[in-house]
Amino acid sequence: MKNRCISIIFTLFSVFLFTNNTFSQNNDIIEKPNLKLDSDLITPEVLWSFGRVSDIQLSPDKKTLLFGVTYYSVKQNKGNRELYTIDIKSKKMTQLTKTPFSEFNAVWRPDGKKIGFISSESGSLQIWEMNPDGTGKVKISDVEGGVTGFKYSPDQTKILFTHEVPKPTTQDIYPDLDKTTGRILTDVMYRHWDEWVDSYSHVFVEDYKNGKVENAVDIMKGEPYESPMKPFGGMEQITFTPDSKAVVYTCRKKVGLEYSLSTNSDLYLYDIESGKTRNLTKGMMGYDTNPVFSPDGKLLAWESMKRDGYESDKNRLFVMNMETGEKKDYTADFDQNAHSLVWTDDGKEIYFTSEYHGTIEIYKLRLKNGKIVKITEGVHNYGTVIPNGKTLIATRTSMSMPAEIYSVNAKNGKAEQLSFVNKDILDQLTMGRVEARWITTTDNKKMLTWIIYPPHFDPNKKYPALLYCQGGPQSMVSQFWSYRWNFQIMAANGYVIVAPNRRGLPGFGTEWNEEISGDYGGQNMKDYFSAIDSMKKVSFIDENRLGAVGASYGGFSVYWLAGHHQGRFKAFIAHDGIFNLEQQYVETDELWFANWDLGGPFWEKNNKIAQRSYANSPHKFVDKWDTPIMVIHSAKDYRILDSQGFSAFDAAIIKHVPAKMLWFPDENHWILKPQNGVLWQREFFKWLDKWLK
């Protein structure tokens, strides 16, 4: 469940599906709202008015940035994504598209004379091209069933695209039963994340000439596997070689139970001329993803995990010599993760991002001596990084600001803001102060805890406080900006937020990160108590008005705390949480997670780690529940089924504990639709205000 409950990175195809999930010819174009606020405090409606910047691309001449911005309409209950450019020198921002169809996967053609993108304007998702100024839009693909992503070859002679290849259906087996709704299941992984597995994403390569494409070839023909990997993989998992003669793609070539038990993905090289495929990472047992070639094609860098079945293993930076096959881990002595790798133009250095002490910073690897240098420092999260000579182009967020685009000095890390998509709204708001505190834990270690204060904070007043329980479970409490678990909107409602980086989170070394596996209900729960007990002694916090909230593993944490808090809290909210660990083991889609984190199945009576995990299942402590609790869950959450939420809610009602349930029939592990998001926020604070104010 790593990174499942807090949305940091979506594939753009997923964003498209959630923002424009019908191909209607609705001419009510969703645009940037012109807001004049009556208050300087953020509300759910204001939160859904922010433009969401994503997928920045630097032009071949290094002068112009291409990116998308998504705006949402609560009234229409959907969003729309348009394309923009920024001239780096003048900072002038130009809107390229204005349609009701959501354009995504926008990239520069290698010669810089065209921009390619995907749109449903013709009725299905197809590849389009336009001039860099937004004129001359032309559809260049006509793939039955549409495409989900694409890339140009460096020599501009080919295009690769991804397309969903359907699996055989019950009607294929029994043609005379054309109206049956029955599904025949023979193995697990029939559902994944939020959908039934009815198709596989395959990679296709086709010729591209004079603005036309033809002769598409499925390079995975007949294989029951997917690339990119679901549920979060995107086009970053697939690339052309710099000579345009081959494609490297990420794939976990397993099915059914084997797929559910394993994280062993590999990088496969497909030779376009011969049609032959070879495994580049054979024998490397964890996740191997996101291949990026050096400009001369001699070296291949990628992100690699060591252990099969452990999705939160250290993410290493590996480099392969394509001539000799020699592989080297450049992060062997770097006790952090490496993400979003990108080469410099001379092929001598690789930039990447990494979690560090509650922030995400930019780092640089010098291949010549293997030295890793930290470039940035501050209270922020950096996302996409693109080298541009002496500067870097990057997206940046904080708990007080959604993503914007920055130019970063590659030597000293000094940043200059390039985009100001949300300046008009931010200028009307007062944000709460964000403070880092290092709190001593029960085992005498130091734990970074973010404290977010209400706007217009008065130290002479007493405030209710919320303990924020992080999900993942191994996802750092960083400087993320969330459209649901947004700390500033919690603070704007008059709460002090206590957000600890408890045991089991990255950014504080491998040992700290791994202390949660096999220890649910252990030290990480004591860390929660350390955080809230430390803060409730502060003069401006009312220790009689404390709440605890969280999602996914954070929801599990809330359920567990409800049976162990000894009167500390007066209200709880659990979103998509695990209530019954035994039930979770046989319900979840990705068994590797349950095996690694819980230690194995509950029927292994001699498995001490597993038995300790199941002994800490929250449902076994319902007899101690005595505090009002709100449960939120969704029907399309196949990671943690909604039966977990209903069970917790029913248990509270049976126990005569004040309880409320908010259930969404059309959401997954997140809440993605505007009106559902607003409802979520309203009910969230309605419940907390009832018991804490």
Question: What is the CA 634 to chain-centroid distance, rounded?
Answer: 18
Q: 3-state class of 127 per DSSP?
A: strand
Q: Are residues 400 and 436 in the same domain?
A: no
Q: Are residues 487 and 418 in the same domain?
A: no
Mean pLDDT (whole number) for 500-517: 98
pLDDT of residue 668: 98
Question: What is the CA 656 to chain-centroid distance, rounded?
Answer: 37
Q: Are residues 419 and 450 in the same domain?
A: no
Q: Are residues 560 and 687 in the same domain?
A: yes
Q: Which residues pair with 82 in a beta bridge?
A: 69
Distance (Å, whole) CA 587 – CA 325:
41
Residue 537, domain member (yes or no): yes
Looking at 118, 140, 162, which one is the last position of a domain? 140
Q: Are residues 414 and 435 in the same domain?
A: no
Q: Are residues 507 and 389 in the same domain?
A: no
Residue 525, domain member (yes or no): yes
Mean pLDDT (whole number) for 256-279: 98
pLDDT of residue 14: 43
Q: Which helix (H) or strand (E) holds 679?
A: helix 674-692
CB 586 within 8 A of CB 507: no
CATH code, domain carrying 44: 2.40.128
CATH code, domain carrying 418: 2.40.128.660
* pTM across the whole model: 0.96
Residue 549, domain member (yes or no): yes
How many alpha carbons lie under 13 Å from residue 395 in its C-beta half-sphere?
A: 26
Domains held by the chain: number? 3
Looking at 393, 427, 461, which one is the last position of a domain? 427
pLDDT of residue 27: 60
Mean pLDDT (whole number) for 77-98: 97
Q: Tell me which DSSP letter residue 236 carries.
A: G
CB 379 within 8 A of CB 479: yes
**pLDDT tens for each residue of 96-140:** 999 999 999 999 999 999 999 999 999 999 999 999 999 999 999
Residue 219, domain member (yes or no): no
213-244 burial string, b = 16+ CB within 10 Å, else e?
Answer: beebeebbeebebbbbbbbbbbbbbbbbbbeb
Mean pLDDT (whole number) for 436-447: 98
**pLDDT tens for each residue of 623-674:** 999 999 999 999 999 999 999 999 999 999 999 999 999 999 999 999 999 9
How large is the greatest C-alpha to C-alpha distance in the chain, in angstroms? Answer: 76
Is the pLDDT at 16 greater than 90? The verdict is: no
Residue 119, domain member (yes or no): yes
Nearest to 419 by CA among 65, 15, 688, 62: 65
pLDDT of residue 3: 44
Looking at 392, 410, 427, which one is the last position of a domain? 427
Band (8; pLDDT cuts 50, 70, 90): very low
Is the pLDDT at 308 greater than 60? The verdict is: yes
Q: Which domain holds residue 576?
A: 430-588+623-692
159-187 burial string, b = 16+ CB within 10 Å, else e?
Answer: bbbbbbbeeeeeeeeeeeeeeeeeeeeee
Q: Are residues 582 and 491 in the same domain?
A: yes
Q: Are residues 362 and 502 in the same domain?
A: no
Sheet holding 246-251, edge to edge: 238-240, 246-251, 266-271, 277-279
Q: Are residues 522 and 637 in the same domain?
A: yes
Residue 4, domain member (yes or no): no
Nearest to 298 by CA among 365, 351, 347, 245: 347
| CA triple 552-234-302, angle to 5 deg | 95
Residue 23, domain member (yes or no): yes
Q: Are residues 421 and 466 in the same domain?
A: no
Q: Which residues pair with 551 in a beta bridge?
A: 575
What DSSP assignment string belongs to 446-508? EEEEEEEPPTT--TTS-EEEEEEEP-TTT----S---SSS-HHHHHHTT-EEEEE--SS-SSS
- The chain-wide mean pLDDT, for the chain, equals 95
Catalytic residue numbers read 552, 637, 669
> What sign does the dihedral 138-142-148-152 (CA atoms) show?
negative
pLDDT of residue 4: 38
Q: Are residues 523 and 379 in the same domain?
A: no
Q: Are residues 386 and 445 in the same domain?
A: no
Mean pLDDT (whole number) for 507-533: 97
Name the token pair of 483.
Answer: 């459209």
What DSSP assignment string belongs to 586-624? HH-S-HHHHHHHH-S-TT-TT-HHHHHHHHT-GGGGGGG
Residue 631, domain member (yes or no): yes
Q: For the purposes of burial, counting CB atoms within 10 Å of the CB of 669, is it exposed (0-12), middle (13-18) or buried (19 or more)?
A: buried
